[in-house]
Structure 1
Amino acid sequence: MSRLSRRLFVAAGLAAPALITARSVRASTEVDVELVLAVDVSRSVDTEEMEMQMRGYAEAFRDPRLAEGIAGGPLGAIAVTLFVWSDWNIQHTLVPWMRLDGPASCEGFARALDGASRETYLYTSISGAMDYAAKQFGQRFEGLRRVIDISGDGVNNSGRPLAPARTETLEQGVVINGLAVLDRTPQPSALLAGLPPVDEYYRDEVIGGPGAFLMVAEGYESFAGAVRRKIIREIAAVPAPGPLVEREFA
């Protein structure tokens, strides 16, 4: 090995620990909760309903009670990201991870939602959404709790079976909560197929983990109120024991 090669080798060896340390610091920013919001945009969600969903999430993050809830945590900060999902291979992150620690950052998240694209697709792959959501954790933050919040108005009909996806996600210590929307005008195909009511399906097949719960929006008109109540409960420093299923009416 030449003298120059030895110098480069030593320099690389000295730089590597610093690089690893820097990456570790970036990846280990602690927050009270890492919250992944997974929003259904399958064909059962029309343009108006998609807008109701996005507006509902934006309104939730503008609610002063949400900022107060964040401030009450041990670290006083949470990390949130939002993606939309449909078919087994369609998951699009609309708002990347953001650290929220007060009204200003919550407003920033709400504005990001205001400006996010509105898109709808075809099928409903809750299993694909779970798989994608589980991979989002630990990228930039390290939460004392990790929560996936899946909202939707239909059952899994695309991609792999839901049960193994759910099991694998829960084995990572992730809590899965649900927000089931009861569509006032369900698709005729759903009625003919004899599918279970969406709220029962989410309760029995989707949610799981310590303290998991289901919020039911009785129609998209009640979506905004359901989202507010749900996220405030999810970010509580010590989530109080509550009902397994809560309902929001317009």
Structure 2
Amino acid sequence: MARLVGLIALLFLALPAAAQERKEVDLALVLAIDISGSIDPDEARLQRQGYVEAFSDPVIVKAILGGNHGRIAVAYFEWSDSWVQKLLIDWTLLDSEAAIAAFSQRLADAPISIARRTSISGAIRYAIPMYSRSPYEAERKVLDISGDGSNNDGGLVTDIRHDALKERIVINGLPIMNGRPNPFGFPAEDDLDRYYLHCVTGGPRSFVEVARSFEDFPRAIRKKLLQEVADIGPLNDFDIGELGKSRDGVQLAQSAGGRRAVKADDDYTRFVRPEYELGCDVGERRSRDFWQRRFGVTPD
């Protein structure tokens, strides 16, 4: 009998991780970072440093460890062209201060790279299967996309967004509005915040947090991560300073905070903003017009 029990135990250990019981986490968070050609190396470093500092912030650490399960899972990749995505850190369990510090250090040590086009749709398409192969069982699935331009490569962003929402993935956005032309002379997109709101984000309590410059990015990503990890409504600076303290009887770290519960059968595709007045293909049209006007060619 003892030999039989031992054999069963060995067979169980030999099973793939997906076949064994998956550890539950409060959140499965994918961070998708724009490294298209409109971003120079200094700006890319500012972006990366923003995430490094955010995961080193004691308030965010407290929020990560303050949920029902006391842990979240995070993955981090960079994206540009439709088929150019670079996975820097695959699914990583953040369940202690040491684990969070190690994740932050891995981000700090990873090399900086820059590519060419801007394909938000490619980033979403790449992210969708990441959740199904995650070794963790998540209460919430969130895709966090940051970038400094609208989609101009690959499929239409709203089509791919629909696919993600069907998988119950919430998409939040962090547009970087630096108010200057990119290195190729392409003008700044003054409506990028509205584009992200109407064309990129979706799902229950999805939101946009705007960085007004690359220098503003660390502040914006800290605030955005705090909202995502704690799963609370829009925050102001007072809320950030008070996170973890009791206010009106509510613990803000991982608190429901009076928000409407999301039902198990909710259709996430319903949680999108009205159609953008300029059209969600505005990035593609602007890109074609720019290259045709500037060089007499259209990009492939």
Partner of 1:77: 71
1:53-95 CA-to-partner distances (Å, cap 9, x unmatched) read: 0010000000011111012210000000100000001001011
Partner of 2:228: 234
**Distance between the aligned counterparts of 1:144 and 1:80, measured in 2?**
13
CA contact (8 A) 1:67 1:101 kept: no
- Matched position secondary structure for 2:55: helix
Indicate which of 163, 166, 187 corresponds to 1:168.
163
Letter in 2 for 1:52: L
Structure 1 segment 83-98 matched on structure 2, within 5 A: 83-98=77-92
CA contact (8 A) 2:227 2:233 kept: no
**Distance between the aligned counterparts of 1:101 and 1:59, measured in 2?**
18
Structure 1 segment 74-153 matched on structure 2, within 5 A: 74-138=68-132, 139-153=134-148
Partner of 2:288: none
Indicate which of 170, 189, 197 corresponds to 2:191.
197
Q: Does 1:43 align with 2:40?
A: no
Unaligned runs of 5+ in 2: 1-8, 236-300
**Distance between the aligned counterparts of 2:39 and 2:217, measured in 1?**
13
**Distance between the aligned counterparts of 1:226 and 1:242, measured in 2?**
12
State TM-score, norm by structure 1. Answer: 0.85
- Matched position secondary structure for 1:79: strand
Partner of 2:215: 221
Cα 1:21–1:158, aligned 2, differ >3 Å: closer, same or farther? closer
**Distance between the aligned counterparts of 1:155 and 1:126, measured in 2?**
7
1:198-238 CA-to-partner distances (Å, cap 9, x unmatched) read: 111101100000010101001000101111111111011xx
Q: Does 1:209 align with 2:209?
A: no
**Distance between the aligned counterparts of 1:56 and 1:169, measured in 2?**
26
**Distance between the aligned counterparts of 1:212 and 1:46, measured in 2?**
29
Cα 1:73–1:48, aligned 2, differ >3 Å: closer, same or farther? same
- Matched position secondary structure for 1:112: helix
- Considering Cα pairs closer than 8 Å and 6+ residues apart, tell me whether 1 or 2 has the greater RCO: 1
1:74-121 CA-to-partner distances (Å, cap 9, x unmatched) read: 000000010000000100101121100232111111100011110001
**Distance between the aligned counterparts of 2:20 and 2:212, measured in 1?**
43
Residue 19 of structure 1 and its aligned partner are, at CA, apart by 4.4
CA contact (8 A) 1:95 1:116 kept: no
Partner of 1:67: 61
State TM-score, norm by structure 2. Answer: 0.71
**Distance between the aligned counterparts of 1:108 and 1:61, measured in 2?**
10
Partner of 2:153: 158
Cα 1:63–1:17, aligned 2, differ >3 Å: closer, same or farther? closer
How many aligned residue pairs are there? Answer: 226
- More strand by percentage: 1
**Distance between the aligned counterparts of 1:18 and 1:56, measured in 2?**
40
Partner of 2:178: 183
**Distance between the aligned counterparts of 2:63 and 2:186, measured in 1?**
41
- Matched position secondary structure for 2:131: coil
Cα 1:75–1:154, aligned 2, differ >3 Å: closer, same or farther? same
CA contact (8 A) 1:58 1:113 kept: yes
- Matched position secondary structure for 1:36: strand
Letter in 2 for 1:242: P
**Distance between the aligned counterparts of 2:96 and 2:10, measured in 1?**
37
- Matched position secondary structure for 1:109: helix
